[in-house]
Structure 1
Amino acid sequence: MKLIRNIMITAISALALSLIWIFASTNDLAETEGVTLIRFGHGAAETNERHLAVMHFKELVEEKSNGSIQVQVYPAEQLGSEAEMIESVTFNDLQMVAASAFSQYDQRISVFELPYLFDSYEEAWSTLDGEIGEKVAEPFLEDNLRIVGYFENGFRHVTSNVPIEKPEDLQGIKIRTPEFPLSISTFQALGANPTPMAFGELYMALQQGTVDAQENPVANAYSSKFQEVQQYLNLTAHQYMPLPVAISEEFWQTLSESDQELIKESTLETAQFHRDLLRENEESMIAELKADGMQIIEPDLEPFQAETEEVYESFKRQFGEEMVNSILEEVQ
């Protein structure tokens, strides 16, 4: 046991030293070449569309700035979990991050995850890129986080070993959800038994029957090969989830107005690049899942929407009606 602990300590120390070396190297680069350096972290693998989007952002910024701004990208949680990377941005140790875990600083950003809030991608994008998206982002400035745009996580759907055609089909189903309050309350309202667990444990849990079902965007189900352990992809579209992109406010204030505008424009352009890429790939992913033997269920969503109305009332009681109503008005 002592040997294992010593090995773990050595590994952690080696990782810390490697990160110090990485940051020292990039600092030397910025100083010797007189460029502004942006360190940008995210949690996805290098094969994921998210990484392709961040690399697109890097290309845009470096091209538009004629090389005076350089972007160093750290994928696959090289610099820690999403929560840890966001915290690093609050300290300006990391300048930018694309992640989902912002509700740890202000839960009102979860308003975009209310069930059946959006009927289409276009509705979601219009809301996020408009005044509502900016208003929801404002409180994060108090934590040195400036949200400059929203990448895509997309609509979430249920996979299962029984078809989910109506809310009653979810009664008693043990379904894995992330540890997001709105995800849990949504499936409680639908009569399921939400069971939070780490995503890395999910395939095994489905395989062994520890949980009966799970819910995620199609891309996650596809990349994790859930068709090997689940028979049905039920297009419930029960939640839309954006992926906020934040920059350190401390770092932002060191930039000229023209550089701020360049970064903002590049973020918005990249956000749409990411959205279009995921949407285009989602269609082919569903086709491949079907070809692999997964049955695709397209239920009538109105009964699901009716069953989850109580989630809205709970959210309003917790955070006030004004924000929720303003978003509903914007969407309508």
Structure 2
Amino acid sequence: MSRVSAKLAVVLGVAAAVVLACLWWLAGSGPGRQGPGAPVERAAAPVPVAEARQLRLGLNIAAGSALHAAAELFAERVAERSNGRLKITVHPDQQLGSDDQMLEMARNGSLDLVLTPTAKLSSAVPAMQYADLPFYFSSREELYAMLDGEPGELLLSKLGRIDLVGLTFWENGFKQFTANMPIRRPEDFARLRIRTMKSPLIADQFASLGATPIPIDFHATYQALKDGAVDGQENPLVAIVGMRFHEVQKHLTLSNHAYLAYVFSVSRKVYETLSPEMRELIRQTARELTLWERQETARREADFIARIREAGVEIHTLSVDERRRFAQVMAPVADKFGFEVGYDLLAKTEELRFALAARGGEAKGRQPWVLALDADLSARGAQAGGAIYRGAQMAIDDINRKGGLLGAPLRLLARDHAANPMAGRHNLELFAAIPSVLAVMGGMHSTVVTEELDDIHRLKMPYLVPWAAAQGITLHELRPSYTFRVSINDTQVAPFLLERALRKHSRLAVLIEQSPWGRSNEAALRPLIERLPAGSVELVWFQDGDTGVDAIVDGLVRAGRQAIVFVGNGIEAGVVVRALARQDKPIPMFAHWALVGGDFWGANQARLEKVDLRFIQSVVEDDAARNRAFAAFLASYRQRYGLGAGAPVPSLMGSAHAYDAVHLLAQAVRRANSPDRGAIRSALESGLSHAGVMRDYRPAFTPQRHDALDRSQLRLARFDGRGRIVPAD
């Protein structure tokens, strides 16, 4: 063989070997199989990089501010922690629009994240006025604890109703006073003209100090101060320096009296498109930077104070005693705006303060006794719960002015059960574990109290009922009985309602809620219905939240029913009114009092112009003309809560009942001369007499009767053109 032939043979042999090896590898490379020898490593396919999600964050504050710096840091950390999957651009200086415009963009999903002053949110979510309550928080630390704790979580949760997801609270600083005279006492505001933003709460704050509040646009404030159109204003230090207010004011008072919080939120429509991982990353990063943003704000404020002092402004810092004096004078502001801010939020704040004071060990011998309130403060009975809160609050003030009980003041401690029986039962357990709790007061919902009965008697807790009407709440077999009602029993309410409807109509329909309370009414009505001619009354049950109630009403009207007797809550009552209003000839409606547990008139005002709605009440404002005690109560209520003479009193019945119930409890505690709950229970049924606003109780309760009011208090009522509850007869 020639040398060329030999080389060719070698090349062909090598090529054949390579081909054979490739075929052998291919044969063994299927799923679950390996080729011979060591595994062959194939080059990994390139992993596609996910396209970054772009989000925009809008804010009104200037570039370079502490808020802007924190927002930029937030964007950096989110990009880093998401490995570039989320990229956030920050737009300060209202680049994307005004606060109102950015808020609307976030609600409809065209803006992703937004930092909004609480004042700009308060028209849609009135509870956002919480941080504006003047001198309500004892210190900066207490306010931070509230916003970062349960009250803050509760406040953020309310943003869901306007399609936002609340993340945390950042700040622009605490508000301070400036004026052309020293401000150290509440009296120093007398006759001053003070610039305010457009806020009823803030206007009331200054009016209560004797000043004249004048709403002026923020950007026009400098000129108004310079021209002397106003004498002073309030703002955080960053705004005072940024807008040069210190150049036209002689005095600055470091008061820290209220807080300009910024709510960091994300559009719910955007939030729901993010993965759970990205949602949590955004939430945690925003909250993590809350402390940094606050510290940065405080750090910069030291420089602002120096610049204000250099401008020749005299600076005053309120002492502890001076702050306490302001807090005393301005405490009624929180009372007046209880419904707007929310009694659920105020109650949670007071609960945390109570727990902190208990851990700190208040002075022995002066630790307050407690009346606990277990009521709906946030759901469909929130107005009734707030009314009960107010009535109890007024009675407690009366009692404390006269020295309190057993040598110590009495205080109110409330927990919201939001119409949930399980939450109510949990509240009872917590209250029972507090030695200073003398008794518990319930709320509007019979269903909740009925579910609590076994717990009430197991815990041996005196339980006052100022609203709930189910007969089983006091008529039960549990002995000794711990439930005492200053309200009307359904055995009297339901027949009264049906009898009044039968005076003018012979063919009625009774729409009744399928619940323990509804069944209580049905049991009271059944004997009366059985005595009537067959077919006179049609009994129709519906479920709480039933969406078909309006169709039921349509059917009853077509069937020739002449009127509807309604036993249910406000939401379903509104559905019935709506269904009646669209009829050519609406038939009348006679309702139980549950519908006034909320703002029924406000929600149904236009429809009520067409529908003849009458409902049961135990008291109306017109009773003041014949009842001096009630007249005095009503005048005191209006003064305390800032209601004008013609303004409706929210759920008045609940306040009046609660007021009398607390005074009866105080009588029992004095008679027992002991905080022992069993002794208080016995004293309540021992023949107590009391001249109340509802009636003269002589006696209020006996061992056989735990209902303090009776049918003589009942009347039919209606709403007038202003929403006041007036007699219908």
Shorter-chain TM-score: what band? 0.7 to 0.9
Q: Does 1:88 align with 2:110?
A: no
Q: Secondary structure at the match of 2:258?
A: strand
**Residue 132 of structure 1: how far off its partner (Å):** 1.5
Q: Secondary structure at the match of 1:71?
A: strand
Residues 186, 270 of structure 1: alpha-carbon distance in 2 compared, 3 angstrom cutoff:
same
Distance 1:263 1:40 in 2: 12
1: CA distance, partners of 2:240 / 2:327: 23
The alpha-carbon deviation at position 260 of structure 1 amounts to: 1.0
Deviation, 1:33, is 7.0
- Conserved 8 A contact 2:204-2:333: yes
State TM-score, norm by structure 2.
0.40
Using the alignment, how far apart are the partners of 2:273 and 2:137 within structure 1?
A: 37
Partner residue of 1:324 out of 346, 354, 365: 346
How far apart are the structure 2 equivalents of 1:56 and 1:318? 35
User: Secondary structure of 2:194's match?
Assistant: strand
Q: Which whole-Å deviations, capped at 9, do the CAs of 1:99-119 have from their partners, x for residues lacking one?
A: 111112210121222111223
Distance 1:217 1:254 in 2: 37
Q: CA RMSD in A?
A: 1.6
Using a 3 Å threshold, how does the CA distance of structure 1 residues 321 and 143 change in structure 2: closer, same or farther? closer
In 2, Cα distance between equivalents of 1:325 and 1:154: 25
Q: What is the SS of the residue equivalent to 2:64?
A: coil
Please give the secondary structure, in 2, of the residue aligned with 1:234.
Answer: strand
CA contact (8 A) 1:117 1:328 kept: no
What pairs with 1:192-207 in structure 2 (closer than 5 Å)?
A: 192-207=211-226
Are residue 305 (structure 1) and residue 330 (structure 2) matched?
no
Partners of 1:176 and 1:278 lie apart in 2 by 24
Taking the aligned partners of 1:234 and 1:89, their CA distance within structure 2 comes to: 37
1:132 corresponds to 2:151: yes
User: Does the CA contact (< 8 Å) of 2:150 and 2:348 recur in 1?
Assistant: no
Secondary structure, aligned partner of 2:170: strand
Q: Report the alpha carbon displacement of residue 317 of structure 1 after superposing the two structures with TM.
A: 4.6
The residue aligned with 1:34 is 51
| Distance in 1 (alpha carbons) for counterparts of 2:351 and 2:254 | 26
Contact preservation (8 Å) 1:233, 1:295: yes
Higher helix share: 1
Instruction: Provide, for residues 159-178 of structure 1, a one-character-per-residue CA deviation record: whole Å limited to 9, x for no partner.
Output: 01100111111011111111
Classify the secondary structure of the residue corresponding to 1:104.
coil
Q: 2:240 maps to which residue?
A: 221
Provide structure 2 residue ranges, at least 5 long, that are not aligned to the other structure: 1-48, 357-729
Equivalent-residue separation in structure 1 for 2:286 and 2:307 (angstroms) = 31
Alpha-carbon distance in structure 2 between the residues aligned to 1:319 and 1:52:
31
Is 1:209 equivalent to 2:228 in the alignment?
yes
For 2:182 and 2:335, the matched residues in 1 are separated by 29
Displaced runs of 4 or more, over 6 A: none
User: How far apart, CA to CA, are the structure 1 residues paired with 2:221 and 2:301?
Assistant: 21
Structure 2 counterpart of 1:297, one-letter code:
H
Range that drifts further, 280-289 or 156-165: 280-289
Alignment-derived partner of residue 70 in structure 1: 87
1:319 CA displacement: 5.2
Q: Which residue of 1 aligns with 2:76?
A: 59
Q: 1 CA distance for matches of 2:106 and 2:306?
A: 39
Letter of the structure 2 residue corresponding to residue 49 of structure 1 = A
Task: State the AA in 2 paired with 1:45.
Answer: A
Alignment deviations for residues 254-283 of structure 1 (CA, whole Å, 9 cap, x no partner): 111111111011101222221110111112
- Give the unaligned 5+ runs of structure 1: 1-31
Structure ID, larger Rg: 2
Kept after mapping to 2: 8 A contact 1:203/1:224: yes
Q: CA separation in 1, counterparts of 2:208 and 2:186?
A: 9
Pairwise mapping of residues 146-165 of structure 1 onto structure 2 (< 5 A)? 146-165=165-184
* 1:232-258 Cα shifts (integer Å, max 9, x gaps): 001222212311011011111111111
Indicate conservation of the 8 Å contact 2:146/2:349, yes or no: yes
Query: Which range moved further: 117-126 or 64-73?
Result: 117-126
CA separation in 2, counterparts of 1:317 and 1:76?
34
TM-score by length of 1: 0.87
Deviation at 1:303, TM superposition (A): 1.6
Question: Matched residue of 2:181: which SS?
Answer: coil
- Residues 156, 168 of structure 2: 8 Å contact kept: no
State the AA in 2 paired with 1:86: L
Deviation of 1:53 (Å):
1.2
Q: C-alpha displacement at 1:320, in angstroms? A: 4.9
Pairwise CA distance, 1:329: 2.7
- Counterpart pick for 1:233 among 243, 248, 252: 252
Structure 2 counterpart of 1:279, one-letter code = A
Aligned 8 A contact 1:116 1:239 in 2? yes
Identify the range of structure 1 (171-180 vs 108-117) with the bigger mean alpha-carbon deviation.
108-117
Instruction: Specify the code of the residue in structure 1 equivalent to 2:226.
Output: Q
Aligned residue type for 2:186: P
Q: Which amino acid aligns with 1:85?
A: M
The yes-or-no answer on 1:141 pairing with 2:160 is yes
Secondary structure at 1:146's aligned position in 2? strand
- Residues 190 and 304 in structure 1, CA contact (< 8 A), matched pair in contact too: no
- What is the CA distance between 1:328 and its match in structure 2? 2.7
- Cα offset for 1:291? 2.2
1:10-64 Cα deviation digits (max 9, x unpaired)? xxxxxxxxxxxxxxxxxxxxxx971111111000111222111111111111111
Larger mean CA deviation between 109-118 and 92-101 belongs to 109-118
What is the distance in 2 between the residues matched to 1:285 and 1:200?
19
Contact 2:136 2:327 in 1 (8 A): no
- Please give the per-residue CA displacement for 1:56-95, whole angstroms capped at 9, x wherever unaligned: 1111111111111000111111111111101100001001
- Give the corresponding residue for 1:172: 191
Q: Secondary structure at the match of 2:168?
A: strand
RCO comparison, higher one (Cα < 8 Å, 6+): 1
Does the Cα contact within 8 Å between 1:170 and 1:192 map onto a contact in 2?
A: yes
Contact map agreement 1:159 1:232 (CA 8 A) in 2: yes
